[in-house]
Structure 1
Amino acid sequence: MTESIPRRPLSRALRQAGIAVAVIAVPLLLGTLLMAVSVNDGGSRRDRAALDLRSIQGALLIHQEQHRRLPTETEGLRLLVEHRALEVLPLDPWHNAYEYTVRDGQVQLRSLGADGDLGGDGNDADLELTFSVAAAPEAGPTP
């Protein structure tokens, strides 16, 4: 006599095969994703720093419009938070303060990059945003 092998329903077999694939594929995909993120981390940090610089620039221009002047270098960017042009003063992605200078109608905002020092190459390179600002109009008689 021949013995018959018990058969599993096809849906149960497919479900078990799907679970086996998921157990193998999910960790593999997560590992690949983590590797891609770590490889691109320098670029994404530089992108975030560039966005922060633009945000600070916007806050400086709003502050100048509302108060008819820019913060002095001594007052620094913290004045933007005190006057509510920024909710919080961001640090660069490497946890350093952004630098702020004003010279002859030019504002320079800077992140010193991953190494925290002037200059550098690649992720260590500084990110700078320089823009002109109009001189505040002189106070005249009000009508």
Structure 2
Amino acid sequence: MHDTPSRRPLSHSVLEATKALLLVAVAFTCFGVLGPCGAILNYSVCCYTKHDMARLDLHHLEGAFKLYARRTGRLPPAGNLAVLVDAGVLETMAVDPWNNPYLFTVDGRQVKLWSHGADGRQGGEGQDEDVARTFEVDLPPR
């Protein structure tokens, strides 16, 4: 006997085709909605200014100062961030986005960190504007 291949009813094929078209429509809708969101997120990440990056660096350096104080019971003397590298708190010497070292002063428990901006000199406007962060560090009791 000769077997004939089984055939699916036409309604089943139409149903499968409809499912496939629906899936394609959903995919295009998702790409249409999420595509611009991805572009916006990518734009916001790639378009940080150097001043924004310096502010972020200063925030991270604040954490390094607090860790140093927790480990040693004191703040580093004002001057060079190499003290934090020597203590193992920073892996490398931190420099600002203009490739200048960050500066800091210590007054009691208060630390002021700053960058002099693009020109490397105090003051200025625009790209030359200074970026600073001041914070207090809780020192452990002695």
Matched with 2:54 is 49
Q: Does 1:63 align with 2:68?
A: yes
Matched with 1:117 is 121
Runs of 4+ in structure 1 over 3 Å off: none
Specify which structure has the bigger relative contact order, considering alpha-carbon pairs within 8 angstroms and separated by 6 or more residues.
2
Name which of 79, 82, 87 aligns with 1:78. 82
Amino acid of the structure 2 residue aligned with 1:109: L
Name which of 102, 108, 118 aligns with 2:106. 102
Amino acid of the structure 1 residue aligned with 2:68: H
Amino acid of the structure 1 residue aligned with 2:136: S
SS in 1 for 2:49: helix
User: Matched residues in 2 for 1:127 and 1:106: separation?
Assistant: 17
1:111 to partner: Cα distance? 0.2
1:135 to partner: Cα distance? 3.9
Amino acid of the structure 2 residue aligned with 1:129: R
SS in 2 for 1:65: helix
Compute the TM-score of the two structures, normalised by the length of structure 2: 0.63
Amino acid of the structure 2 residue aligned with 1:93: P
Larger radius of gyration: 2
1:136 to partner: Cα distance? 4.0
Q: Does 1:93 align with 2:81?
A: no
1:137 to partner: Cα distance? 1.5
Specify every segment of 5 or more residues in structure 1 that has no aligned partner in the other structure, as ranges: 1-35, 139-143
Say how many residue pairs are matched. Answer: 97
SS in 2 for 1:109: strand
Amino acid of the structure 2 residue aligned with 1:66: R
| Identity within the alignment, % | 40
SS in 2 for 1:102: strand
User: Matched residues in 2 for 1:137 and 1:49: separation?
Assistant: 32
Specify every segment of 5 or more residues in structure 2 that has no aligned partner in the other structure, as ranges: 1-42
